[in-house]
Structure 1
Amino acid sequence: MKTAQKISNLNLKNNRKLKVFLFFLVLTSIIWLLIALSKNYTSTAIFKVEYENLPVDKLVQNKPISEVEISINAPGFTLINYKIRTHKIAFNLNGLISNKGTSFLLPNTQLSYLNKQVSNETTVVDVLQDTIFFDLGRNISKKVVVKPNVDVKFKLGYNFIEDLKLIPDSIVITGPEKKIDSISEIFTMPLELADVHQTIEADLKLDIPAAKLNLKVSNKSVHVLGKVDKFTEGVFKIPVRFINEPENVTINPFPKEIEVVYRVGLSHFNKINENSVSVVFDYNQYKNDTLIQYLTPVIQQKSEFIHSLEIQPNQIEFLIQN
């Protein structure tokens, strides 16, 4: 019994000594690590790149490199932070060099500018990418018309009572000259509507092709307005009238009146009368071909409210008297 108790007490003492030893070993290691990490070291880290102060009349046409590897000197604690988290750093494009149409930047000429962007205990030693190339173009602006990409199917008897309006109807695009020159119009995103019988109002985004996403636009969308009304048909008669008739010639038409059949929105029907349309017959048609026996009508003017019209008859006979 006494021998077993002595062995147990000895094991207990040994365990205590082992625990004390391990405690001091861990404590010593931590202290050593803290001392080691408080010292300065030189190592590399990856930085995300931003570019500042691009000349106003220039534009980067192809995206340059977005990350660089930089050699920095900093305390161990700070270096660990740079290793586990990607930081940003900006290059000043006022330092761009151009040579025979090629533009490039020498990052290591901007070390003082880079050091202002890092913490006080960190020093930028060297940028491993010694040259960054840029594809620059002249930045220009141009006004282009916006066109609707709208497919409307109306309910029977309905239609637009005026042209579809876009607000604004043109935009200003800014970008590289070689891309801007090829653009004469911008379309809206598609809009398809069916069984339409009421006024259309919608905000449509502009369709900027993927290859031109780096363009700047004054508007990214436009307001589309299309006034819709039910259409009705109207008829009135007007006398036949001639133009370019010589002074010594009298033209007798058959018939002496023509019928104007027109389609107009119901809300504008009362605004249409005989003065809303000007139809003439041109004597020069006969003068240019004396064999013709009929003259065809020429519509000189019609009201903006008239959607379509038809002249009946669409030809008249005539008799010339000298």
Structure 2
Amino acid sequence: MKKNINKLPEFFKIEKLRNDKRVVVFLICLLISTSLWFLNALSKDYSTTISYPVKYVNPPSKQFLANHPPSKLELKIDAHGFTLLRYKLSLSFSPIILNLTNITKDLKPEDGIYRIPSSGLMRRIKSQVSNEITILEVQPEMLEIILDSLKTKTVPVRANVQVQFKPQFNLKNPVRVTPSEVKITGPSSVIDTINELSTRFENFEELDAAVEKHVDILKPKNTTISPDKVNLKIEVEKFTEKELKIPLIIRNRPDSVNVKLFPSEVKVTCLVGLSEFEDVAVSDFSAVVDYADVDKNTQNLPVKIERKSSFIQLVRVSPEAVEYLIETN
């Protein structure tokens, strides 16, 4: 026996196979019998399960598909072997189309959800697949469809930017967004939560001149925006220092006392755009000390500067605190 096994490699040598007609005849017979067996197997009917894509279209007027029902249906089918082979070899199927208006028109939602038995969709599904297969079962057994009403409202657009400047340059005006408002449309449950929209983030560095750029608006899921882009305008100008003497104001002083400050005014140094240099005046500032800050352990009150324009950059205040004397009336 061992001797015969050792002869097998010799028997299957390529050169020997070519010259031995018995082997060639055997291989041909094997191929023919295998083919006949395969054809016979394919001629029978079989049951199997295939995944079929599904597409949801045409929601009722002014409504929106608000959830994500299954993107595929599992179909248990009965079909001829050749038909199943063709399906198994196919790389993709045309999706089953489910018309949302048609499949929900005779149903009443429960808690806002349309629950549709898959068995009730059998006729629609059968009409869209090959008549060579018999559909036995559809999974999942129940489809849940949530339709939400469409809503449109107008909301402001906020510029989402980071701006850095070259030395002695800054914003001349606030970053301008045009248009400043847009219309957003989507499910009411989504739209009701949106009070403003933001542009895509933009970073500007080393600016010393004005910039204009069209940018996208960040779009929440399942919504449309009109228009979906805005124009950003960043106006830049050179800034220079300006000094002003501002009289001090005392807040929260009781009527029963009189407070004297030393000094009674402070020097404010600020950065001002060249276009506004001549217009910036003492009236643009308030220098304040608060009587509530009086402390028996110190003779100084801190000075607080209030600006009326956000484009005046405060550099320093001198002095930052002043001495005081309290007199009783």
Per the TM superposition, whether the score is higher than 0.5 is: yes
2:68 aligned partner? 62
Question: Which consecutive unaligned segments of at least 5 residues does structure 1 have?
Answer: 1-45, 70-85, 116-123
Counterpart of 1:302, as a letter, is K
Which one of the candidate residues 313, 317, 321 is aligned to 1:311?
A: 317
Q: 1:236 to 1:249 in 2, by over 3 A?
A: same
Instruction: Output the CA distance in 2 between the equivalents of 1:63 and 1:263.
Output: 59
The percentage of counterpart residues that share the same residue type is 27
2:160 aligned partner? 149
Counterpart of 1:247, as a letter, is D
> Which aligned runs of 4 or more in structure 1 are off by greater than 6 angstroms?
86-90, 108-111, 127-132
2:239 aligned partner? 231
Q: Does 1:218 align with 2:226?
A: yes
1:154·1:196 contact (CA, 8 Å) conserved in 2? Answer: yes
2:276 aligned partner? 268
Counterpart of 1:166, as a letter, is V
1:161·1:264 contact (CA, 8 Å) conserved in 2? Answer: no
1:279·1:301 contact (CA, 8 Å) conserved in 2? Answer: no
Q: 1:53 to 1:239 in 2, by over 3 A?
A: closer
Q: 1:65 to 1:252 in 2, by over 3 A?
A: closer
Counterpart of 1:104, as a letter, is I
Counterpart of 1:236, as a letter, is L
Q: 1:145 to 1:103 in 2, by over 3 A?
A: farther
Specify the SS of the correspondent of 1:174: strand
Which one of the candidate residues 139, 145, 149 is aligned to 1:139?
A: 149
1:159·1:231 contact (CA, 8 Å) conserved in 2? Answer: yes
Counterpart of 1:316, as a letter, is V
Deviations 1:256-281 (A, max 9, x none): 22101111111111110111212222
2:288·2:304 contact (CA, 8 Å) conserved in 1? Answer: yes
Deviations 1:198-237 (A, max 9, x none): 112111102336xx2x222233122212211111110011
TM-score by length of 2: 0.59
Q: 1:48 to 1:320 in 2, by over 3 A?
A: closer
Q: 1:178 to 1:90 in 2, by over 3 A?
A: closer
1:190 aligned partner? 201
2:158·2:199 contact (CA, 8 Å) conserved in 1? Answer: yes
2:175 aligned partner? 164
Show the 5 A alignment for 1:1-322.
51-62=57-68, 91=99, 93-96=101-104, 97-98=107-108, 100=110, 101-104=113-116, 106=120, 133-139=143-149, 141=151, 146-176=157-187, 179=190, 186-208=197-219, 212=221, 214-286=222-294, 289-322=295-328
1:143·1:173 contact (CA, 8 Å) conserved in 2? Answer: yes
Root-mean-square deviation (Å): 4.2
Specify the SS of the correspondent of 1:235: strand
Question: Which consecutive unaligned segments of at least 5 residues does structure 2 have?
Answer: 1-51, 76-93
Instruction: Single out whichever of 192-201 and 131-140 deviates more from structure 2.
Output: 131-140
Q: CA deviation at 1:251?
A: 1.7
Report the count of equivalent residues.
Answer: 249
Instruction: Output the CA distance in 2 between the equivalents of 1:150 and 1:249.
Output: 50
Specify the SS of the correspondent of 2:149: strand
Counterpart of 1:157, as a letter, is Q
Q: CA deviation at 1:284?
A: 2.8
Instruction: Output the CA distance in 2 between the equivalents of 1:162 and 1:309.
Output: 19
1:59·1:175 contact (CA, 8 Å) conserved in 2? Answer: no
Instruction: Output the CA distance in 2 between the equivalents of 1:143 and 1:275.
Output: 38
Instruction: Output the CA distance in 2 between the equivalents of 1:47 and 1:303.
Output: 61
1:77 aligned partner? none
Q: 1:166 to 1:215 in 2, by over 3 A?
A: same
Specify the SS of the correspondent of 2:276: helix
Q: CA deviation at 1:172?
A: 4.4
Q: CA deviation at 1:240?
A: 2.4
Instruction: Output the CA distance in 2 between the equivalents of 1:169 and 1:161.
Output: 19
Instruction: Output the CA distance in 1 between the equivalents of 2:245 and 2:168.
Output: 24
Specify the SS of the correspondent of 1:93: helix
Q: CA deviation at 1:302?
A: 2.2
Instruction: Output the CA distance in 2 between the equivalents of 1:92 and 1:135.
Output: 9
Instruction: Output the CA distance in 2 between the equivalents of 1:103 and 1:308.
Output: 64
